[in-house]
Amino acid sequence: MATTDKKIQTHIPYGFITALALILIAVILEAVNLNDKPGMQWLGYGIMLVGLILNARAFSKANHADITFGQAFSSGFKASAIMAIVMFAWSFLLPIIFPGIYDRMIEKANAQMQEDSRLSEEQIEQAIALTRKSMGLLVHGGALFGTLIAGLFFSLIAAATAKKNPRPVQLDVPM
């Protein structure tokens, strides 16, 4: 029978802290009207990646580097799941805190479609009407699944950065 020791977990605090940092940055960007500036959407991804790398390193340190790549990845993905839940909840508060944000998103989408010469005016109107009807679903689903998908990839990167020096498994064999 193999002996397995329970690992010290770090994903809960790092998941919550990173999610709060994402929300804080979103609020700041929205408050100073920088959300629509090119490249600003990458800021959230950068914060998420840094949070997951810090989690992976803290997980490794807490367990004296006696971890595997899979364990570091698992810790990162658990932190991502916490972020996804917090961001999903935040997506419901977003239109309350920032009234008119959905309208601004739709205006931006409309402007982008107007620039695309492949779409007729009727197609643009249909797309905008559909977007307006499903805006809440798009935002909530994006917050949940977008965070999980980004978390999946970023957890792989974070796991690769963590120091790993797993001890060999000791087998308890009676003699």
CA angle 51, 52, 54 (to 5 degrees): 65
Domain ranges of the chain: 11-161
Please, are residues 80 and 52 in contact by the beta-carbon 8 Å criterion? yes
* pLDDT beneath 70: ranges in the chain: 1-5, 117, 169-173, 175
Please, are residues 55 and 79 in contact by the beta-carbon 8 Å criterion? yes
Q: Which of 88, 57, 82, 100 is nearest to 151 (CA)?
A: 82
List, for residues 5-44, the tens digit of each pLDDT value: 689 999 999 999 999 999 999 999 988 988 878 888 899 9
Distances (CA, A) of 163 to 53, 137, 168: 11, 40, 16
Q: Tell me the whole-structure pTM to 2 decimals.
A: 0.84
